[in-house]
Amino acid sequence: MNRTQDLGKLIKLTGDRAKLDAKANDTYIIYKTKEGAFVKEFSNGEVVRMNEQDLHHD
């Protein structure tokens, strides 16, 4: 494999690990979809699109 493929595989494995950790801790992960929307994915598989207000902390 080349470096780009290796990096892609590592990124996927990192995301998979984050999902496992979220399930173990009954929490969620946040990521950006291919369409550019940020979503919150819960350990039960529920996916909720986040709005602009959810992205900023004061």
CA distance 58 to 12: 31
pTM exceeding the 0.75 threshold for the entire prediction: no
pLDDT digits (tens, 9 = 90+) for 2-57: 999 999 999 999 999 999 999 999 999 999 999 999 999 998 989 999 987 776 76
Q: In what order do the strands lie in the sheet with 47-49?
A: 28-32, 38-42, 47-49
Locate the domains of the chain by residue range: 3-55
Would you state the structure tokens that stand for residue 44, as one six-digit string?
């039960």
Residue 6 is encoded by which pair of tokens? 């290796």
Element containing residue 18 per DSSP (H, E) = helix 3-24
Rounded (10°) CA dihedral 33, 38, 44, 45: -20
